[in-house]
Structure 1
Amino acid sequence: MQPRIPRPTVVAAAIVALTLVTLAGLLAPALWYELVERREPGRLVAGGAGVAAILVLYARLFWLNLMRRTAPVHSLGLAAIAALCWTLPAVLGGAGGWGNLLMVPAGLIAVVLPLRQAVAVTVVGGVLTPVYGLLLGLPALNILYEAIGFPITAFSGYVTVWLFHVVQELREARTELARSAVGAERLRFARDLHDVLGHSLQAVALRAEVAERFVDRDPPRVRKELTEIQTMARDAVRDVREIVRGYRATSLRTELEGISAVLQAAGIRCDRPEIPDLPAHVHEPLGWVAREAATNILRHSGASWCRISLGTDTRVHLEIVNDGADRRSHTPGTGLHGLAERVAAASGEFTAGPDGDGTFRVRASVPLEKPLETSLPSGKRES
């Protein structure tokens, strides 16, 4: 079972609490010595107040730096803790465990100070602490313990805060990746919806206009157009459902037959080539190119003819040319950007633009042999 990761504030509170428990265990022998051995209320009150102040200030500084609320004034707090930890043994004597206070500031050095300053202070503290212990008359074993433990404690404090921040950054990165994945999926869905509905609705509108023109003089033609409108509407509903399911397969042959019929119904002469047997991976990107090109011709141009050509060598080349470039906007739209992404994902090449002679040309080519690593748009399957 994978454990649930608590919130950052909960983890930080746990780290601070465990640190205080460790410090309390380090300082408890001194207070126990004053309570049981010395039995002097003044010394006990002074020692207890000093220890409480140290623990409170230590916890505050540790918490703020875990939460990345660093400030220059924190170095003054570290200096205050160091002053208390060095003053209490001098006042109360090094016996009874008060010498352990000399180790306490080490845990905050690398937490509060910048790294370079922390290294310098740790080196200086690692030298001065044993010397000060000698002046206090501490046993040789205690002095050796402080000489070794001071840099280790400083490093431990640094690693604790560093690991906490690394975990938080990883957590934020995971959240951002999830957000990016959702955004990418929304863009994919929006692109697919645009490609499908843009073509289908344009075709429905065109058929409706044709039916309107013949409503009085050719009722059989109107009935035929209405039947086609119903069929297109049902197909559009089916396509949307398939997009939602993420399983829509595009066929180049079907797309070229469909756009040829729609363009001819709009009065645009359309030459369509014979479609040879092509590999399955070719149909998806080139089918989308044919669909979007036809949609743009109907929506943006005043073309009178359209020529579709298809060729194969080591690649499959699709070219769609129309004569409506001089009456259309040449600014690439969402559909063309989406096509470029689809064809690039199939290791292909895509260009679209006016030729300068009044024609607009769309070219796309994809490898005849399927690449070893072809990255199809998310949620698609080959036809």
Structure 2
Amino acid sequence: MTLLPLIAEAGRQVQPRIGRPGAFAAVIVALTLLTLTGMLLPALWYELFVRSEPGRVALAVAATAAICATYGRLLWLNLRRRTAPAHRIGLAALTVACWGLPPVMGAEVGWGNLLMFPAGLIAVVLPLRQAVAVTGVATVLTPGYGVLLGLPPLTVLYELFGVPVAAFSGYVTVWMYHIVQELRRARAELARSAVGEERLRFARDLHDVLGHSLQAVALRAEVAERYLERDPGRVRKELTEIQAMAREAVGDVREIVRGYRATSLRTELDGMSAVLQAAGIRCRRPEISPRLPAHVHEPLGRVAREAATNVLRHSTATWCLITVWADDDRMWLEISNDGAGPGRRAPGGAPHRPGSGLTGLAERIAAAGGEFTAGPVGDGTFRVAAAVPLLPARGPAGKGRT
């Protein structure tokens, strides 16, 4: 199983489903308005079924609808990050309506609850510092106004503590909504990043495998063509090698797709020396200890594969020297050849420039905790050197030795 299905499966199992931002904001506004309307239900009940005066009923319904509509509009716009200076005018108008209606309708029958309504929007509409100051003033003025209206002592005490709580609740509601949306965007960005990394890994693997394999196939085909009329036996041998390389390349591609491809340094060096020798480049593979730590095969094997491809494609080398050794804490692979003269050119006659292969190798070795260098070292010699730790990044104590 590759990384992409794992990411999707983990997302289905761990992440909760979060609605679209607009739907989420609409739910918050609807629940808030439902709460506010519930606070006014006793007053509306009194006007509708006790007093039953058409003029007062119409005023009560119209005022409640206007207050809830203004409150919901301001909350919605600020949830959607559409804050504007004009919203302060809306908050002031809402405050005038909420503080002006109780003396007209009678604060003692439930309309006094309107005094706390504007507090929930203070920290939503105003900047934080201004909201703190206004909340402090409202905490003092609201109970004082309630005393002037003749509200019961318990109601006045409730308003004394309810105003700062309502202001804080409004602030937390908007803040949490924005946090959820930022987390949603961050999760989407992480998913895109994971997909990008998986594509990059897949591209590197294809480059490493097919670049080397196709170059080797092309070389064997050139050798077969060279001996086509002089040595039929050699041609048959080269064709057999081409068939084996093609089958191996197909198998490697299938393993890459499955995400299970394992690289062996010994195998890579065997293939590298065989291909270079077939191209007329002197090359001898060093002996590799069977006790070589398993985790070094993948990065160093890819270095060997990329180096072989570059020697065949970009150099005029006559010899290639491969050295493998270990120091106190690292395993080293060094590959040198004499094909880095000033006249070296890439296929097609263009001056050689470092390709994506060496860049990808540097990233892989760095990810493994090692170091990587590649470049000419003078006298027409090009050197590639890579080192990886003998101990895995999170392995048990102790050092593996070659």
TM-score over 0.5 (shorter chain):
yes
Cross-structure match for 2:307: 293
State whether residues 314 and 352 of structure 2, in contact with CA within 8 Å, keep that contact through their aligned partners in structure 1.
Answer: no
Could you tell me which amino acid in structure 2 is paired with residue 354 of structure 1?
P
Q: How far apart are residue 312 of structure 1 and its match?
A: 2.5
Cross-structure match for 1:380: none
Cross-structure match for 2:283: 270
**Residue 69 of structure 1: which of 75, 82, 95 is its match?**
82
Cross-structure match for 2:323: 309
Matched, 1:323 2:338: yes
Cross-structure match for 1:165: 178
**Residue 387 of structure 2: which of 353, 360, 365 is its match?**
365
Aligned ranges 1:1-383 → 2 under 5 Å: 4-277=17-290, 278-314=292-328, 315-326=330-341, 327-328=344-345, 331-373=353-395
TM-score (norm 2): 0.88
State whether residues 260 and 270 of structure 1, in contact with CA within 8 Å, keep that contact through their aligned partners in structure 2.
Answer: yes
Could you tell me which amino acid in structure 2 is paired with residue 295 of structure 1?
T
State whether residues 313 and 368 of structure 1, in contact with CA within 8 Å, keep that contact through their aligned partners in structure 2.
Answer: no
C-alpha distance in 1 between matches for 2:387 and 2:159: 73
How many residues align? The count is 374
Of 36-45 and 174-183, deviating more is 36-45
Could you tell me which amino acid in structure 2 is paired with residue 292 of structure 1?
E
Is the alpha carbon distance of 1:38 and 1:243 closer, same or farther for their aligned partners in structure 2, counting shifts above 3 Å? same
C-alpha distance in 2 between matches for 1:346 and 1:98: 70
State whether residues 324 and 360 of structure 1, in contact with CA within 8 Å, keep that contact through their aligned partners in structure 2.
Answer: yes
Q: How far apart are residue 373 of structure 1 and its match?
A: 5.0
> Gapped runs of 5+ residues in structure 2?
1-12, 346-350, 397-402
SS at match of 2:289: coil
C-alpha distance in 1 between matches for 2:325 and 2:59: 94
Is the alpha carbon distance of 1:130 and 1:259 closer, same or farther for their aligned partners in structure 2, counting shifts above 3 Å? same
Could you tell me which amino acid in structure 2 is paired with residue 332 of structure 1?
P
SS at match of 2:110: helix
C-alpha distance in 1 between matches for 2:181 and 2:276: 57
Identity score, percent:
73
Deviations 1:111-141 (A, max 9, x none): 1111111111111111111122222222222
C-alpha distance in 2 between matches for 1:104 and 1:13: 19
Q: How far apart are residue 288 of structure 1 and its match?
A: 0.9
C-alpha distance in 1 between matches for 2:390 and 2:116: 72
C-alpha distance in 1 between matches for 2:127 and 2:223: 76
State whether residues 208 and 226 of structure 1, in contact with CA within 8 Å, keep that contact through their aligned partners in structure 2.
Answer: yes
C-alpha distance in 1 between matches for 2:392 and 2:152: 78
State whether residues 196 and 240 of structure 1, in contact with CA within 8 Å, keep that contact through their aligned partners in structure 2.
Answer: yes
TM-score (norm 1): 0.92
Q: How far apart are residue 287 of structure 1 and its match?
A: 1.1
C-alpha distance in 2 between matches for 1:152 and 1:373: 53
Cross-structure match for 2:10: none
Q: How far apart are residue 371 of structure 1 and its match?
A: 4.1
SS at match of 1:352: strand
Is the alpha carbon distance of 1:140 and 1:367 closer, same or farther for their aligned partners in structure 2, counting shifts above 3 Å? closer
What's the RMSD between the two structures over aligned residues? 1.9
Deviations 1:29-71 (A, max 9, x none): 2222222333322222222211110011111111122222222
State whether residues 302 and 324 of structure 1, in contact with CA within 8 Å, keep that contact through their aligned partners in structure 2.
Answer: yes
C-alpha distance in 2 between matches for 1:283 and 1:153: 63
C-alpha distance in 1 between matches for 2:116 and 2:102: 12
Q: How far apart are residue 330 of structure 1 and its match?
A: 5.9
Is the alpha carbon distance of 1:110 and 1:369 closer, same or farther for their aligned partners in structure 2, counting shifts above 3 Å? closer
Q: How far apart are residue 167 of structure 1 and its match?
A: 1.8
C-alpha distance in 1 between matches for 2:395 and 2:20: 40
C-alpha distance in 2 between matches for 1:261 and 1:324: 18
SS at match of 1:276: coil
C-alpha distance in 1 between matches for 2:60 and 2:218: 89
SS at match of 2:325: strand
Deviations 1:196-255 (A, max 9, x none): 100000001111111112212222211111111111100000010111111111111111
State whether residues 34 and 44 of structure 1, in contact with CA within 8 Å, keep that contact through their aligned partners in structure 2.
Answer: yes
Of 236-245 and 219-228, deviating more is 219-228
C-alpha distance in 1 between matches for 2:171 and 2:393: 49
State whether residues 78 and 112 of structure 1, in contact with CA within 8 Å, keep that contact through their aligned partners in structure 2.
Answer: yes
State whether residues 110 and 154 of structure 1, in contact with CA within 8 Å, keep that contact through their aligned partners in structure 2.
Answer: yes
Deviations 1:156-205 (A, max 9, x none): 11111222222222222222212211111111111111001000000011
Is the alpha carbon distance of 1:340 and 1:37 closer, same or farther for their aligned partners in structure 2, counting shifts above 3 Å? same
